[in-house]
Structure 1
Amino acid sequence: MSKEKSQEEIDAEVAQFKKDLGIKENKQAEPDFHEDLNKYSSIKHVIGVISGKGGVGKSFVTGQLASMMVRAGYKVGILDADITGPSIPKMYGVHGPAYGDDRGSYPIEASDGTKIMSINLLLDDEEAPVIWRGPVIANAVKQFWTDIVWGDLDYLFVDMPPGTGDVPLTVFQSLPVDGVIIVTSPQDLVSLIVKKAYNMASMMNVPVFGIVENYSYMKCPHCGEKISVFGESQIDSVAQSLGLPVLGRLPIDPEYARKEDEGKCYEIQAPFEPITQRMLEALG
């Protein structure tokens, strides 16, 4: 039986996590251009979820990270910053229209308690395309921070569109992002794509907490053998070269797709590494 850790050991581990991740004790000590949060809201931590390319399941990973923290007893929200390709509402089975009053607009609460704001919750027709130019999209993301009454949250996860364009830049400059998690898949270009996302975050002085590899493998339904559908993973070597932890290797699983289609993504428990929750809790 393993020895239970003392409070001193736990505190030392948390301090080391903060040091390794570059978390500053006082983020306001340096000049910044952050937008003011809605005055009726209080958010302790903002976590961005990014990817260098589309199609890697970034929104799924965002939902799973949020669900993990909800199950751990925290108050959690998701800001869907993928304005032209929102998928968070569908995954959680929530629909608009969001309502508002003189304090601002309110997020929609999913069945598990996660508070969600997405452009789809503000449109009259969820299937209508959002044909906006970059500056308008960036301004909408800012308004999700300044005009939404989030209430009291421990964690706000920001699901960003893929790439290194207007929206990630806006989020990094306008929101007090504690750090980001990079999502990728096991393909030949993984090293280049991950490094693009990593370098953007570094240029914006935003810590990168680690990497999640989605579509990492699938299990044979008959023998349980892991099959590398998209080729052998390179995530360990890429993570090592950047000095980052691998936070999870998530499988291809038809049950995941079914739960998402049913709007019950919060019922999935994706196999993140044990370090992932401890790392987020180490933010304080």
Structure 2
Amino acid sequence: MTVTREAVIEKLSTIKGPDFKDDIVSLGMVSEIFIADGKVFFSITVPAERAEELEPLREAAERAVKSIPGVTNALVALTAERQGGMGEAPRSRPQPAPRPAPQSSRPAGPAAGTIPPKAEIHGVRWIIAVASGKGGVGKSTTAVNLAIALRALGQKVGILDADIYGPSMQKLLGVKEKPVTTDGRTMQPIEAWGVKAMSMGFLVEEDTPMVWRGPMVMSALRQMLRDVEWAPLDVLVVDMPPGTGDAQLTMAQQVPLAGAVIVSTPQDLALIDARKGINMFRKVEVPILGVVENMSYFIAPDTGKRYDIFGHGGAKAEAERIGVPFLGGVPLTMDVREKSDAGTPVVAVDPDGAQARVYREIAEKVLAQLKAQAGAGGGPRIVFE
């Protein structure tokens, strides 16, 4: 059954807006709608300060569209941008510019309030974090494809899924086997697509809830870092948990990170959270290797027409504004999503494709910075304020 734009609009007209009087279509909150192969893509414009409060609105719209006969899936995002959609979008409250992180001086020896860098992970040259200020921006997909792209550049690479509560590496890499130990303590990482990998998802069943408190989480992460036979590696990619809470900050403080890659989508709401991630790493003096704009634009598979469903260029403009490198914009494509769901990363199975080229260019920029940093000598010094 063919899904029409009119059918989607009719269904969305049943969803009440934040005022509980008018619907989200008549309020002009719905962006341009794109439909392909039974999949529906659109965003809902809301005031930035009410994003968390209005998440149920997004979920209701997504459920409503999925109930339409012929719809196989729906991708709905909240955005605070003004978009050329079906009506005049409500204005979002201007967001104050974040304070620039203070430039710290680095004395030759330890000073008051500082500690030396944490102990290195045996046999690992560089550890980089792939992080985001919020979930749902494609951070894990980016981490996997970045790791495989670094391997394609001749590096020995590992990837650690540090998201204890919501591990996804087993799905993205198509891993079904369990790790084994060599001496009853040291675990052997699983090798997939030429990359060594470790995740809590390898150790527990997929539907097992991880109801752990902070100390238990950090203990598990320390084990997966230091009780796994990673060596020899050039780069260990750490897929960080989303957000900027205690677990993320503790990881940034305890792991000798060579740098961080921040993943964001183009819309204002995601960028607000990306700034939080950048500022968190700056507070502990971890270099920002750059920003990746994921879901940067959508290319229709049937017509080749480009759609900026979630806006475009916001992450690049933000990177330029705060003075960090922009690593590249990854398009939203059916190919990346389908291959990720199938456990066949696009960089591994379609290395000459357009998406793989983007990830490879990002990997080249990251590797160049790591080598330049090594040539300059010295690593970051962690500061507690």
1:214 aligns to what SS in structure 2? strand
Q: Following superposition of structure 1 onto structure 2, how do residues 238-253 of structure 1 map, counting pairs within 5 Å?
A: 238-253=318-333
When the two chains are superposed, the root-mean-square deviation of aligned CA atoms in Å is 2.4
CA contact (8 A) 2:290 2:327 kept: yes
1:95 matched to 2:183: no
Match of 1:19 in 2: none
CA contact (8 A) 2:316 2:326 kept: yes
Structure 1 residues 118 and 27, CA gap change in structure 2 (3 angstroms): farther
* Equivalent residue letter for 1:105: M
1:42 matched to 2:123: yes
Output one character per residue of 1:150-200: Cα deviation in whole Å (capped at 9) or x when no partner.
120010000011111133222212211000000000112233212111110
The structural deviation recorded for 1:270 is 5.4
Q: 1:108 aligns with which of 169, 177, 190?
A: 190
TM value normalised by structure 1: 0.83
Q: Following superposition of structure 1 onto structure 2, how do residues 183-194 of structure 1 map, counting pairs within 5 Å?
A: 183-194=263-274
Question: How many pairs were matched up?
Answer: 256
* Equivalent residue letter for 1:92: L
Q: Which runs of 4+ in 1 moved over 4 A?
A: 26-30
Give the whole-Å Cα distance in 2 for the aligned partners of 1:163 and 1:96: 29
CA contact (8 A) 1:81 1:167 kept: no
Q: Following superposition of structure 1 onto structure 2, how do residues 42-191 of structure 1 map, counting pairs within 5 Å?
A: 42-102=123-183, 104-110=186-192, 112-123=193-204, 125-191=205-271
**Percent of pairs identical after alignment?**
39
Match of 1:229 in 2: 309
TM value normalised by structure 2: 0.62
Give ranges in structure 2 of 5+ residues lacking alignment: 1-103, 351-355, 372-385
Give the whole-Å Cα distance in 1 for the aligned partners of 2:182 and 2:120: 19
CA contact (8 A) 1:138 1:166 kept: no
Match of 1:32 in 2: 116
The structural deviation recorded for 1:36 is 5.5
Name which one, 1 or 2, has greater alpha-carbon Rg.
Answer: 2
1:267 matched to 2:349: yes
CA contact (8 A) 1:81 1:158 kept: yes
Give ranges in structure 1 of 5+ residues lacking alignment: 1-21
* Equivalent residue letter for 1:31: I
Structure 1 residues 129 and 178, CA gap change in structure 2 (3 angstroms): same
